[in-house]
Amino acid sequence: MSSYLSSKYAALEAYVPGEQPRDKAYIKLNTNESPYPPAPGVMDVLSREAVSDLRLYSDPTCQACRAAIARRYGVDVENVFVSNGSDESLAFLFMGFTENGAAFADITYGFYQVFADLYGVDCRVLPLNEDFTLPYEDFLTAKGTLFIANPNAPTGLTISLSQIENLLAADPDRLVVIDEAYVDFGGESAACLVGKYPNIAVVQTFSKSRSLAGARLGFTIASREIIAGMDKLKYATNPYNVNRLTLLAGQAAMEDETYFDTTRQAVIDAREWTKAALSERGFTLTDSKTNFLFAKSDRIDGGKLYAMLKDRGILVRHFTSARICQYNRITVGTMEDMKALVAKIDEILAWEDKA
Ligand X SMILES: *Cc1c(COP(=O)(O)O)cnc(C)c1O
Contact positions toward ligand X, by CB under 6 A?
32, 85-87, 109, 149, 153, 179, 181, 205, 207, 213, 218
Rounded least distance, CB 110 to ligand X, Å: 9
Contact 225, 107 (CB under 8 A): no
- Closer CB to ligand X, 38 or 218, in the complex: 218
Rounded least distance, CB 97 to ligand X, Å: 16
Closest CA to 195 of 99, 86, 78, 87: 78
Q: What are phi and psi of 21, to 5 degrees?
A: -70, 150
- Residues in a beta bridge with 147: 177
Rounded least distance, CB 159 to ligand X, Å: 14
Q: What are phi and psi of 28, to 5 degrees?
A: -90, 105
- Closer CB to ligand X, 210 or 296, in the complex: 210
Q: Rounded distance, CA 312 to CA 109, Å?
A: 28
- Closer CB to ligand X, 211 or 297, in the complex: 211
- Closer CB to ligand X, 179 or 184, in the complex: 179
Closest CA to 84 of 184, 220, 191, 193: 220
Rounded least distance, CB 216 to ligand X, Å: 7
Contact 60, 345 (CB under 8 A): no
Rounded least distance, CB 17 to ligand X, Å: 10
Rounded least distance, CB 302 to ligand X, Å: 20
Rounded least distance, CB 32 to ligand X, Å: 6
Rounded least distance, CB 79 to ligand X, Å: 19
DSSP 170-210: H-TTS-EEEE-TTGGGT---GGGGTTT-TTEEEEEESSSTT
Q: Rounded distance, CA 234 to CA 92, Å?
A: 8
- Closer CB to ligand X, 69 or 181, in the complex: 181
Q: Which residue is nearest to ligand X (CB)?
A: 85
DSSP state of 57: P
Is beta strand 328-331 parallel, antiparallel or unpaired with respect to 292-297? antiparallel
- Closer CB to ligand X, 134 or 349, in the complex: 134
- Closer CB to ligand X, 181 or 300, in the complex: 181
What phi-psi label fits residue 122: left (phi over 0), alpha (psi between -120 and 50 degrees) or beta?
beta
Closest CA to 186 of 219, 162, 151, 211: 151
- Closer CB to ligand X, 233 or 342, in the complex: 233
